[in-house]
Amino acid sequence: MYRSAENEIVEEVENQVHPPTSITLKINGTETRLHVAPWTSLLDALREYLDLTGTKKGCDHGQCGACTVLVNGKRINSCLTLAVMKEGTDITTIEGLAQGEALHPLQKAFIEHDAFQCGYCTPGQICSAVGLMNEGKAKTRDDVRELMSGNICRCGAYTNIVDAIEEVMHTQPAPCHE
C-alpha cells in the first residue's frame, strides 16, 4: 500500500491524540496480538496489519459482501466492524478454511462449478456460504439465493455459486444449534 508523507504525519498526530490499542485476536486458529488505532476496521487489521489479503475491500460500506469473514462461525462484514470489538473472538478468513493443502468442500465446489469469474468476490462468497451452512436455515435453492443476497458478484456467476453451495449443503451433516 502506498503511503504518502502527509498520511504518515496525520497518522502520527492521531496516534498522539488516540494511542494505539493492544488487542488479541484468534485468527485462523492462531492467537495474534496487534496494536491498532481504536477506529481500525477488522478488514483493515486483517489486510494491512496481518497481510491476509484474501478478504477484499469492495464498497467499504457493508453493501457488497466482499469483506465477509466468520466470527465465531457467523458471517459478518469486516468493513463495518472495529477490530477492537472482536477482542478474544475466533475469526476465520478465506485463508483459514482449508486444512493444509486440503481445500474446504465449498472451495472445491466453487472450482468444480466454475462459481467465480474474476474471483474478487469469491472469498467473501465462500465465507458467507460457510456461515449460511452454519446457520442451518437454508433448505431450498430460493433460501440459498435469499440468504446470499448480501454478497454481490459483478460477473454474474450467481447460478454457479448457488449450485456449488447446494452441492456442499446436501453432502454435509446438518449443523447443531443450541
What does the DSSP assignment read for the chain? ----HHHHHHHHHHHHHSPPEEEEEEETTEEEEEEE-TT-BHHHIIIIIT--TTS--SSSSSSS-TTEEEETTEEEEGGGSBGGGGTT-EEE-GGGTSBTTBPPHHHHHHHHTT--SS-SSHHHHHHHHHHHHHHT---SHHHHHHHTTTS--TT--HHHHHHHHHHHHTTSPPPP--
Spell 100-131 as b/e; 16+ CB within 10 A means b.
eeeebbbbebbeebebbeeebbbbbbbbbbbb
Please say whether the beta carbons of 164 and 112 come within 8 A.
yes
Q: How confident is the model at residue 7 (pLDDT cuts 50, 70, 90)?
A: low
What's the pLDDT tens digit per position in 40-84?
A: 999 999 999 999 999 999 999 999 999 999 999 999 999 999 999
Which fold is adopted by the domain 105-169?
DNA polymerase; domain 1 (1.10.150)
- Residue ranges covered by each domain of the chain: 5-96, 105-169
Provide the pLDDT for residue 16: 65
Q: Side chain identity at 130, as an amino acid letter?
A: V
Three cell numbers written together for 6: 502527509
Considering the domain 5-96 in this protein, what is its CATH number? 3.10.20.30
Cβ partners under 8 Å of residue 29, min gap 6: 96
| pTM for this predicted structure | 0.86
What's the pLDDT tens digit per position in 142-161?
A: 999 999 999 999 999 999 99
